[in-house]
Structure 1
């Protein structure tokens, strides 16, 4: 059972935990790939569920886990009535006991491995350590008597320290009988090649606007069609990133940035100062991080608009396409913006590392935008 008073390392703030989410939106291809392997009796013991954060990887892992715990092995019945039809969905009945037990983290056939709470430091551990992986030994011993399947979810393997990674690798090399390991990874390229080679990969895809709207509604955030398009564009199709944008009023923040872009090369200094001060106060670190993320994204969209000659569509803020067409009218101007995009993020990160005043960092970034806009417009005339 989970201690309700402690934070969970695998929960996105402001959203239900993946074990509480019954439906997975926009990832039918990954689900069908798993179901096809199951129906053909080619169930691999290790599955690597990959894709950027916020696409539903953990939700898919929990759906697979529940499915495996309640679904019997496929049979090749050559009798009078033949074999039953293969399952077409990972869904199980909402009132099934396994559904209730997994929500309560009391299902004996399932073990969740994630970063643990550090009682001494009074915070979540920064890494998933070998101590968490070693708990599997007791899990395998306790659950081996009933002969059913056992499922392990590791969320996420990117957070494992070297000792934990080696322990998981050993399990993949010598998997216990009737055990399936579901490994969640946001950046699989950083994993040990031997871990990747011993797993079958299920890669999730970014969500479009319609799927984004449905996924946000499922998470308790109802948005209009225009907002859903903007969120899908700014979040790269990630529901987790879209929820962060909503929680931090990111759409308005991006609109404020585009309004500043519209004033270039004559930067609206009062508006720039107000924006810098709005994210620089103590306790606004998350919003400051988001501002720099959105600033990098806006410059990247501007560069792409110039290089391709196609303004961003859909717009993530009113008037964005017109602003970008003016500031990046040629492929050469797009390349200038691309060069700025490569350096601006590094400059901001360095400034924060050496504790430069956040408002000064924001203003520095905006002044560099002004200079780049002036250079481009001079070259275009």
Structure 2
């Protein structure tokens, strides 16, 4: 029942061990009041962009609930977890019998994190709830994120949500709740978190000790869009340089443009480039969507349709490449060629 976070970003603090949360005081206060009232929902959908503290909030709330299993005796606010408290130590070490953290598992053959949370992972939740708690405490499942559930896994979770065991709680995290099964969303209480405000970003990055050159700080924070995860990818994974090369490629033509395409492809297909590749794919999707939206707003419906269709074609192309393990460098070159036509 380990809560170790596979694929933790360099420079990040594992949410289970993070004792500080910035920018979400209202959401935390709502959870504390709801729990203390004794009328809290058994499944909470914590939604919002990636890297803004959803998992940290979930683990803080789980720590609070497990430390105060009787709602009426719980404090009115959620305090920073005490690392030396038995509950905190059990959660951090994965030794708690009252919490199950469902996330994408690591493939034992390749050592890489799998692309989805499978039904085999969800079956662990069934086993988890079938065990009798020696303390009579809550049983909490954190799904991190539910966006990664494949179809069979999502249906399996749905069955548990429909008939939850006594003193069971689900904290369902989602970066894109619109992609979840409507039936899963309908059985959860939504709690929306927003991008971190500048002050909260400064506090969060200060806690991590992230070093951003003074001359690049403003640009990095603008590109981070209130997400600590994006800031880490921009600084620690070469994301800022990749996005700069992408903009230069779009502005160039002929041999210069081709040179920039190869520079990007080399950066995204090298060893240990999974995070950078995922970051760029996300940025590319945003770029195409924003371009289509901008063209539609200016009345260029033909151009908007072109970029909307291009986004769909590229998503399919990337999916096929991943499924058949096609050469990543060539795939990236093909994608960039399609964008620049």
Any idea what the Cα deviations from partners look like across 1:102-157, whole Å, max 9, x if unmatched?
Answer: 11111122122223334456544433233322223443344423122222212222
Aligned residue number for residue 248 of structure 1: 237
Aligned residue number for residue 283 of structure 1: 270
8 Å Cα contact 1:280/1:288 also seen in 2? no
8 Å Cα contact 1:129/1:163 also seen in 2? yes
Which structure 1 residue ranges, 4+ long, deviate > 6 Å from structure 2? 299-308
Structure 2 residue ranges without an equivalent (≥5) = 322-326
Aligned residue number for residue 15 of structure 1: 12
Is the aligned partner of 1:29 residue 2:26?
yes
8 Å Cα contact 2:7/2:113 also seen in 1? no
Tell me, what secondary structure is at the counterpart of 2:70? Answer: coil
Q: 1:181 to 1:349 in 2, by over 3 A?
A: closer
Is the aligned partner of 1:230 residue 2:191?
no
Tell me, what secondary structure is at the counterpart of 2:82? Answer: coil
| Segment drifting more, 155-164 vs 145-154 | 155-164
8 Å Cα contact 1:213/1:225 also seen in 2? no
- In the TM superposition, residue 258 of structure 1 has moved relative to its aligned partner by 4.5
- In the TM superposition, residue 64 of structure 1 has moved relative to its aligned partner by 0.8
8 Å Cα contact 1:296/1:341 also seen in 2? no
8 Å Cα contact 1:303/1:336 also seen in 2? no
Distance across 2 between alignment mates of 1:359 and 1:63: 43
Is the aligned partner of 1:70 residue 2:41?
no
| 1:104-119 correspondence to structure 2 within 5 Å | 104-119=93-108
- Comparing both chains, which one has the higher relative contact order based on Cα–Cα distances under 8 Å and sequence gaps of 6 or more? 2
Aligned residue number for residue 78 of structure 1: none
| 1:176-191 correspondence to structure 2 within 5 Å | 176-191=165-180
| 1:1-381 correspondence to structure 2 within 5 Å | 2=2, 8-9=5-6, 11-12=8-9, 14-75=11-72, 86-119=75-108, 123-223=112-212, 227-258=216-247, 267=252, 269=254, 271-281=256-266, 282-283=269-270, 286=274, 287=276, 290=279, 294=283, 331=298, 341-342=307-308, 345-346=311-312, 358-359=332-333, 361-362=335-336, 365-366=339-340, 368=341
Aligned residue number for residue 324 of structure 2: none
Q: 1:139 to 1:346 in 2, by over 3 A?
A: closer
Q: 1:213 to 1:69 in 2, by over 3 A?
A: same
- In the TM superposition, residue 63 of structure 1 has moved relative to its aligned partner by 0.8
Structure 1 residue ranges without an equivalent (≥5) = 76-83, 309-330, 369-381
Distance across 1 between alignment mates of 2:3 and 2:48: 29
Tell me, what secondary structure is at the counterpart of 1:101? Answer: helix
- In the TM superposition, residue 222 of structure 1 has moved relative to its aligned partner by 3.1
Q: 1:183 to 1:332 in 2, by over 3 A?
A: closer
Tell me, what secondary structure is at the counterpart of 1:117? Answer: coil
Aligned residue number for residue 318 of structure 1: none
Aligned length: 329
Distance across 1 between alignment mates of 2:125 and 2:201: 36
Larger Rg: 1
- In the TM superposition, residue 70 of structure 1 has moved relative to its aligned partner by 0.7
- In the TM superposition, residue 342 of structure 1 has moved relative to its aligned partner by 3.4
Kindly report the root-mean-square deviation, in angstroms, between the aligned alpha carbons of the 2 structures.
Answer: 3.7
Q: Please, what TM-score do these two structures have when normalized by structure 2? A: 0.78
Q: Please, what TM-score do these two structures have when normalized by structure 1? A: 0.71
